[in-house]
Structures are given as structure tokens and as C-alpha cells.
Amino acid sequence: MLVVGLTGGIASGKSTVSNRLQEKYTLPIIDADHVAKEVVEPGQSAYKQIIEYFSDKIPDLLLPDGHLNRGSLGKRVFEHSDDLKKLNSITHPAVRKSIFKQVLLYYSKGYRMCILDVPLLFEARLDTFCGVTIAVIASEDIQLSRLQVRNPGMTLEDCRNRIKSQMTSEERIEKADYILQNDQDLANLYAQVDTLITSIRPSLLRTALEYFPPFGAVSAAAIILSKSFLNFQKLKKID
């Protein structure tokens, strides 16, 4: 089974691409945002850790029903990079565990492909386990415009903080295998998606072979090793 990592900055159009893949191609989608909400539900380990760390920093951290006030938590971490790192260190391990369980579930059902819809795909290093990675990119002006329409209660400064807290488009372009440029209309974006899926979708023969244990194990190991090697080479260039 080909695991495709899908990522993109806030208001880039990643969710639009994800919906297209699910509705037209009936591909299973593992939505990291949805998983992230589940792992911080009351009673979960990540929920308890967040309360322990942030309760003194955010007076209205909890809603009356005991759930986290995601708006206040988000505002805090997007204005304080150290707090964002701490939040990620709490939630990422729980999210990864849940994602891997879902990947195994879709593999056991015989799917040819599944999509990991993960905003922080590269930051969380989940790209290491993907056969292919796709980044949806839009200019910052377009991101700001979309964010303000989608969240009228957010100030322009809040929107800028959200964008600046994430990996830049240039960094995503450097890391991703494929780029979907979403600065035009929906028809243009859909055309890019359709062309890409046609080119990367595994054949039935390859899928059948990957369900044969020896071949599947070698294929999975090759993907992980090649991704790790490429990441290592990129780090050497930075040094």
C-alpha cells in the first residue's frame, strides 16, 4: 500500500485537495487534525499533560464542559514559540501512535493507497514513513485573505502569527516530492490533483506483490531507508 503524505500551510488549500482525493478517488484519509482533537479529549494522557503545563499560563484553558479551549490554547502557542514546541512534544507522540494504527487498518483492508493529511508532516518527521509526499502551496497574500474570510474574528496580526509559526512554503518545496500550486481557481487545482494521482497510483500487480510478506517488508524498509538517507543528505548540506 502506498502511503501518501499530504501537507500544506494554513489556508493553502490542503483540505480541498484532501476532499478531492476522498470524493473522486475514494481514497482513505487519515486526518491528523481530527486525530489531534481525539488525543486531547478529557481523560487522555495528552489532555492531562496540557493542563499540567498550560493551566498557569492560560486562565481560560478549560471550557465549562471540561474540554480544552482550543481558541485560547492556539492563540497562546502561536504567539510563544517555546509553548508551541512544548505542545507539539505532548501531542505528536500520541498522534503518531493513532496514525500508525489507522495505516495498519487500511493495509489490512487491501487498499492500494491511503492519504496522511498532516499539516506538520515534515516537522513531525512522518514523511519518513511515506512513499510519496505532496505539499499544497499558496502565496502568503492569498493565505492571509483566505484566513480572514474563514476566521473573521481573527485580527490580521493573528493571521500573520499563524502563518509565521509554520514551515515556510520554500521549506516545503525543498522537502516534498510533489507540489500543488494553489494560487488560481478550483478547476486548476483539481486538474493538478488528477494529473498527479494518475501518475503515482500503484498498479494492481504492485499492490498484490506488496501483500506478499517478503516483498512488502523489503518495500517498506527501502522507503524508510531512502527517506532517512535523503534527510541526512539535506542536513549535511545545511551544516
Residue 217 has pLDDT above 90, yes or no: no
Q: Return the CATH architecture of domain 34-110.
A: 3-Layer(aba) Sandwich (3.40)
| DSSP E strand stretches across the chain | 2-8, 29-31, 113-117, 132-137, 178-181
Output the pLDDT for position 204: 59
pLDDT band for position 214 (cuts 50, 70, 90): low
pLDDT band for position 14 (cuts 50, 70, 90): very high
pLDDT tens sequence across 150-180? 888 888 898 998 898 899 999 999 999 999 9
Q: What is the pTM of this model?
A: 0.75
pLDDT band for position 211 (cuts 50, 70, 90): low
Highest mean pLDDT among 93-97, 204-208, 209-213, 230-234: 93-97
Output the pLDDT for position 106: 92
Share of the chain above pLDDT 90, in %: 60
Q: Rounded to an integer, what distance in angstroms lies between the CA atom of residue 198 and that of residue 110?
A: 19
For range 135-162, the mean pLDDT: 91
Q: What is the CATH number of domain 1-28+112-239?
A: 3.40.50.300
Which one has a higher pLDDT value, 162 or 233? 162
Residue 235 has pLDDT above 50, yes or no: no
Could you tell me the three cell numbers for 34?
481530527
Residue 19 has pLDDT above 60, yes or no: yes
Which one has a higher pLDDT value, 123 or 19? 19
Domain boundaries, the chain: 1-28+112-239, 34-110
Amino acid at 121: L
The answer to whether the Cα torsion of 151, 84, 168, 188 is positive or negative is: negative
pLDDT band for position 96 (cuts 50, 70, 90): confident
Asked if 124 and 96 touch (Cβ cutoff 8 Å), the reply is yes
pLDDT tens sequence across 45-79? 999 999 999 999 999 999 999 999 999 998 899 88
Output the pLDDT for position 125: 86
Output the pLDDT for position 227: 56
Average pLDDT, the chain: 86
Output the pLDDT for position 239: 46
160, exposed or middle or buried, with CB in 10 Å at 0-12, 13-18, 19+? Answer: middle
- In this chain, the answer to whether the domains covering 1-28+112-239 and 34-110 adopt an identical fold is yes
Residue 32 has pLDDT above 50, yes or no: yes
